[in-house]
């Protein structure tokens, strides 16, 4: 069964509150919040498709220091107020403001 996103409405305008509901495709969309009874509408969002360039894959790649070093990037790590020390790569050993 698919998971649908709904947003709560106040006088026909979205309040910013959203929630998820797992329901069959054959079931009609909800019109009221199941807990507090406020009006809701189903939100249409683009599908979340993974792959090499998805947000999750890119975050995992950027967190891998070994891959970044192989690709020729330089990484600096904050070591104090306005001071950064080089973790790997070429460039100056420290950067200060």
Is residue 89 within 8 Å of 73, Cβ to Cβ?
A: yes
CA distance 81 to 73: 23
Q: Is pLDDT of 56 > 90? A: no
Q: Percentage of residues in the chain with pLDDT exceeding 70?
A: 100
What is the per-residue pLDDT for 80?
A: 86
**Which position has the higher pLDDT, 11 or 52?**
11
Q: Give the residue extent of every domain in the chain.
A: 3-43, 62-96
User: Residue 27: CB partners within 8 Å, gap ≥ 6?
Assistant: none
Q: What is the pLDDT of residues 84-94, one digit of tens each?
A: 999 999 989 99
């Amino acid at each position: 069964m698919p998971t649908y996103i709904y947003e709560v409405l106040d006088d026909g305008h979205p309040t910013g509150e959203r929630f998820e509901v797992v329901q069959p495709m054959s079931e009609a969309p909800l019109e009221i919040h199941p807990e507090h009874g406020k009006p809701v509408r189903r939100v249409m969002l683009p599908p979340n498709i993974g792959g090499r360039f998805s947000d999750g894959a890119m975050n995992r790649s950027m967190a891998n220091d070994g891959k970044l070093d192989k690709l020729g990037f330089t990484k600096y790590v904050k070591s104090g107020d306005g001071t950064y020390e080089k973790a790997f790569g070429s460039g100056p050993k420290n950067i200060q403001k």
